[in-house]
């Protein structure tokens, strides 16, 4: 009999209860005891919901106070030296220090979880002594069992993925680290078995990447040790986000279950299964519902697919589940009554995806009929024929893209024009775009949205904030200013509200990092722009100062990668539709006198495919879309862009190919490691490598920033180097923002003087 399973559930709650609880605790408005009590209530409510939906295997341990990778590292005492305590125990406040930093302690690096928009805390394994600090999974398993009668499926990041996502050790040290972790995992599993666990999910998504052969050898070593030492419990090795690279090795591992993604694998996992078969004694955990997008599944097609699988494997050896953790989608559609019914009716968030799993399972167990699946699918077929997805002038434009320019005159000629026009000093200082969104800013926006504040009054309020921060920027001494983006909720959501073919949900929040949640726009139809989106605020800001004010836009690649994208046409076609819409805004800004324009591609790298053979096509499409959006400007208009996070070695040629005049890239948390990318690649355009970390509330010292500038200028031409924070400042407080920028400007000034003195010698 086919059964149901879930890989992971969103932490944040229907109304972001989790986020609010975290932030109350961080601001010392809630005691640790109150915090633990509230988190337990949230955690149990999530389990109860899955229980009520009839899910057979409910994940335990996917709930976290910050990040599941951090949880695993802390459990095994993989704690950076600077955060270790004298008594050897890690209190809750110390746990959050690793993620957020504190006075005198720089936070651990944060980076993307594979090719998603979720960020994990990178474990630092320099001088660590692995040991089991506390088996949190046993506590959580017992809690679910005692409070709800749920014998759940504990979930843990596997040792091979954990090491592969960590830093601070050599290849030679990897083997010894792995050997030291194996008995710790065995201890965790043994204690779980003793508590009554029947299934344990071990997440090894690293197996869908192009990994080294040594990792395949590690697989056999690790899972043979598990099999020899952990009896009477079923271990599942779970992969997701792509097809596995090592199917033959995977199916021969001594585990009870194997989890495969049959949604994002482009059909490869099924072909591998057909070619090599599937062991009779093992269970297949089939990821057949999309865990990363928000569209209803065509359940008749899913039924046919599962039927095909079951004919090869047997219904008694199959669990149906999402393709990955539902962490990557919002909680429920039921709170989206403001959306047009035609759009709402084709959406499925986490809860609705579990309903799809349950419905499919019930059809196979004959609790429901195939007719129920056919009725479910009707709205999907109807929506495909709607006017939203058949806008004639947009479809014609995509067919005739060759009519739109996608290149500019040489960068050398542009550079000379810009130097004469702007006359900026050495090491020009600027920010990435946004300034603090205070409670008052959010309050005024909410009043305006509710109709309690008129359009005129709201516009006047936004202008007052712009004026205030233009003044602050001039007083600090920044060279290139920004208007602050006070009218914007989120860098993608803002444009989603302005573009046709895009919907904004009311409560479609998804965790990005820590308590930071984003509300990805829903691209449901053909995308185009009816009116200017940013001109008014930018032109007003420029009227207040003689210094240049950058126009601030979000690029087409980032809008695509940070949105839920329609799945009835190619992502490339959708991206080019968005590029044409951004192009029209770039032209409007230029027409109104804004000739320094930043088109952010913060998410370009995170969309990178996990398979090497798919990388070049993605990068080529991304570069083309960016150039389509930016190449119609005049030579004297300077185009900037911004990208987040490190590990750019593999796309440095694409960064160059964007042909932006100035690029800024985050590099502070990775302590300048990104700079090595430029040691072997000559970059002849303007560049700013973020000189301090905005994700931490601490104010950097001049010495820290100076060191970051010094390291960068060992590789980069000082005449091309810009000094800026690593990201936007929206989430920071006003006082810390001003203090940090003053330090940054002073560090740049001191280094500028140093360079000038050397030039005169």
The residues carrying an active-site annotation are 695
d(CA 69, CA 73): 6
DSSP string, 213-263: HHHHHHHHHHHHHHHHH--SSEEEEE--SS--S-HHHHHTSS-SEEEEESS
**Which H or E element spans position 199?**
strand 199-203
The residues pairing with 518 across neighbouring beta strands, listed in sequence order, are 510
The residues pairing with 600 across neighbouring beta strands, listed in sequence order, are 554
Do 413 and 685 contact (CB within 8 A), yes or no?
A: no
Task: Locate 399 and state its tokens.
Answer: 């067919």
Strands 510-513 and 499-503: unpaired
Beta strands in 465-509 (DSSP E): 499-503
b/e map 101-114, b = 16+ CB within 10 Å: bbeebbbbbbbbbb
Q: Closest Cα to residue 709, out of 760, 748, 741, 669?
A: 748
Is 666 annotated as contributing to ligand binding?
Answer: yes
d(CA 295, CA 606): 21
Is 71 annotated as contributing to ligand binding?
Answer: no
In the numeric block, the tokens 């991304």 are attached to 622
At residue 53's C-alpha, the angle toward residues 154 and 67, to 5°, is 40
Is 26 annotated as contributing to ligand binding?
Answer: no
Do 655 and 648 contact (CB within 8 A), yes or no?
A: yes
Rg of the chain taking only CA atoms, in angstroms: 26
d(CA 366, CA 359): 10
At residue 643's C-alpha, the angle toward residues 640 and 645, to 5°, is 155
Is 642 annotated as contributing to ligand binding?
Answer: yes
In the numeric block, the tokens 């994990």 are attached to 120
Beta strands in 653-731 (DSSP E): 662-665, 686-689, 721-722
The residues pairing with 551 across neighbouring beta strands, listed in sequence order, are 597
Is 27 annotated as contributing to ligand binding?
Answer: no
Task: Locate 443 and state its tokens.
Answer: 């309050």
Is 343 annotated as contributing to ligand binding?
Answer: no
**Which H or E element spans position 185?**
helix 171-195
Is 445 annotated as contributing to ligand binding?
Answer: no
Is 562 annotated as contributing to ligand binding?
Answer: yes
Judged by DSSP in three states, 606 sits in: helix
All residues at 6 or more sequence positions from 138 whose CB lies less than 8 Å from its CB, including other chains: 188, 191, 192, 195
Where residue 423 falls (left for φ over 0; alpha for ψ -120 to 50; beta otherwise) is: left
Is 752 annotated as contributing to ligand binding?
Answer: no
d(CA 323, CA 534): 38
Helix segments in 658-725, DSSP class H: 702-713
Strands 516-518 and 510-513: antiparallel
Residue 157, CB-side half-sphere exposure with 13 Å CA sphere: 25
CB atoms within 10 A of CB 582: 25
CB atoms within 10 A of CB 506: 11
DSSP label of 123: P
The residues pairing with 643 across neighbouring beta strands, listed in sequence order, are 665
d(CA 549, CA 568): 40
In the numeric block, the tokens 């959050």 are attached to 96
Is 17 annotated as contributing to ligand binding?
Answer: yes
- For the annotated binding site for L-homocysteine, the residues are 432-434, 485, 600
Annotated binding site, which residues?
Answer: 16-19, 112, 432-434, 485, 516-517, 562, 600, 606, 642, 644, 666, 727
Annotated binding site for L-methionine: 432-434, 485, 600
Give the residue ranges of the annotated binding site for 5-methyltetrahydropteroyltri-L-glutamate.
16-19, 112, 516-517, 562, 606
Report the binding-site residues for Zn(2+): 642, 644, 666, 727
């Amino acid at each position: 009999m086919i059964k149901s399973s879930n890989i992971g559930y969103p932490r944040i709650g229907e109304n972001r209860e989790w986020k609010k609880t975290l932030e109350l605790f961080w601001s010392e408005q809630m005691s640790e005891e109150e915090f633990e009590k509230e988190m337990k209530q949230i955690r149990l409510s999530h389990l109860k919901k899955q229980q009520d939906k009839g899910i057979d295997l409910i994940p335990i341990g996917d709930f976290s106070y910050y990040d599941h990778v951090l949880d695993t590292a802390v459990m095994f005492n993989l704690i950076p030296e600077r955060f270790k305590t004298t008594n050897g125990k890690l209190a809750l406040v110390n746990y959050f220090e690793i993620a957020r930093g504190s006075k005198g302690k720089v936070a651990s690096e944060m980076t993307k979880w594979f090719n998603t928009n979720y960020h994990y805390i990178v474990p630092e394994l320099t001088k660590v002594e692995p040991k089991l600090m506390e088996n949190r999974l046993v506590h959580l398993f017992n809690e679910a069992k005692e409070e709800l009668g749920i014998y759940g499926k504990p979930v843990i990041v596997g040792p091979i993925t954990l090491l592969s996502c960590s830093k601070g050790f050599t290849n030679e040290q990897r083997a010894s680290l792995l050997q030291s972790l194996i008995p710790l995992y065995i201890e965790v599993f043994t204690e779980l078995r003793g508590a009554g666990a029947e299934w344990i999910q071990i997440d090894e998504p690293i197996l869908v990447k192009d990994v080294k052969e040594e990792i395949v050898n590690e697989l056999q070593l690790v899972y043979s040790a598990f099999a020899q030492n952990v009896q009477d419990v079923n271990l599942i090795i779970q992969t997701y986000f792509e097809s596995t690279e090592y199917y033959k090795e995977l199916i021969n591992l001594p585990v009870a279950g194997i989890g495969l993604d049959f949604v994002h694998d482009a059909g490869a996992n099924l072909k591998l299964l057909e070619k090599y078969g599937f062991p009779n004694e093992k269970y297949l955990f089939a990821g057949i519902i999309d865990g990363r997008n928000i569209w209803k599944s065509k359940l008749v097609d899913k039924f046919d697919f599962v039927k095909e699988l079951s004919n090869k494997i047997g219904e008694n050896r199959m669990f149906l589940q999402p393709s990955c953790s539902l962490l990557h989608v919002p909680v429920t559609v039921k709170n989206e009554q403001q959306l047009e019914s035609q759009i709402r009716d084709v959406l499925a968030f986490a809860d609705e995806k579990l309903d799809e799993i349950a419905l499919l399972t019930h059809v196979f167990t004959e609790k429901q009929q195939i007719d129920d699946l056919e009725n479910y699918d009707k709205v999907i077929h109807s929506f495909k024929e709607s006017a939203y997805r058949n806008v004639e002038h947009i479809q014609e434009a995509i067919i005739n893209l060759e009519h739109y320019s996608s290149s500019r005159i040489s960068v050398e000629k542009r550079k000379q024009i810009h130097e004469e026009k702007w006359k900026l000093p050495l090491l020009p200082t600027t920010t990435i775009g946004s300034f603090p969104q205070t409670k008052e800013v959010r309050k005024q926006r909410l009043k305006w949205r509710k109709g309690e504040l008129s359009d005129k009054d709201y516009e006047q309020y936004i202008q007052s904030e712009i004026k205030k921060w233009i003044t602050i920027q001039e007083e600090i001494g920044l060279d290139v200013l920004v208007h602050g983006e006070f009218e914007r909720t989120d860098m993608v959501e803002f444009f989603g509200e302005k573009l046709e073919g895009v919907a904004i949900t009311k409560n479609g929040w998804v965790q990005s990092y820590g308590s930071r949640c984003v509300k990805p726009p829903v691209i449901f139809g053909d995308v185009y722009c009816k009116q200017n989106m940013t001109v008014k605020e930018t032109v007003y800001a420029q009227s207040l100062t003689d210094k240049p004010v950058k126009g601030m836009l979000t690029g087409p690649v980032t809008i695509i990668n940070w949105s839920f994208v329609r799945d009835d046409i190619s992502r490339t076609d959708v991206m080019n539709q968005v590029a044409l819409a951004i192009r029209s805004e770039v032209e409007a800004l230029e027409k109104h006198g804004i000739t320094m324009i930043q088109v952010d591609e913060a998410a370009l790298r995170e969309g990178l495919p996990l398979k090497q053979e798919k990388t070049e096509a993605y990068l080529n499409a991304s570069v083309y879309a960016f150039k389509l959006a930016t190449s119609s400007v005049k030579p004297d208009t300077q185009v900037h862009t911004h990208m987040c996070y490190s590990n750019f070695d593999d796309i440095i040629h694409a960064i160059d190919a964007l042909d932006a005049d100035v690029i800024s890239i985050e590099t502070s948390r990775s302590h300048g490691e990104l700079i090595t990318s430029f040691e072997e690649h000559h970059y002849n355009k303007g560049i700013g490598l973020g000189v301090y970390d905005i994700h931490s509330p601490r104010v950097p010292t001049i010495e820290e920033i100076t060191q970051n500038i010094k390291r960068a200028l060992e590789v980069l031409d000082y005449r091309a180097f810009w000094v800026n924070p690593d990201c936007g400042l929206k989430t920071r407080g006003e006082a810390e923002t001003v203090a940090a920028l003053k330090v940054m400007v002073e560090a740049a000034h001191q280094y500028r003087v140093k360079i000038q003195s050397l030039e005169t010698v």
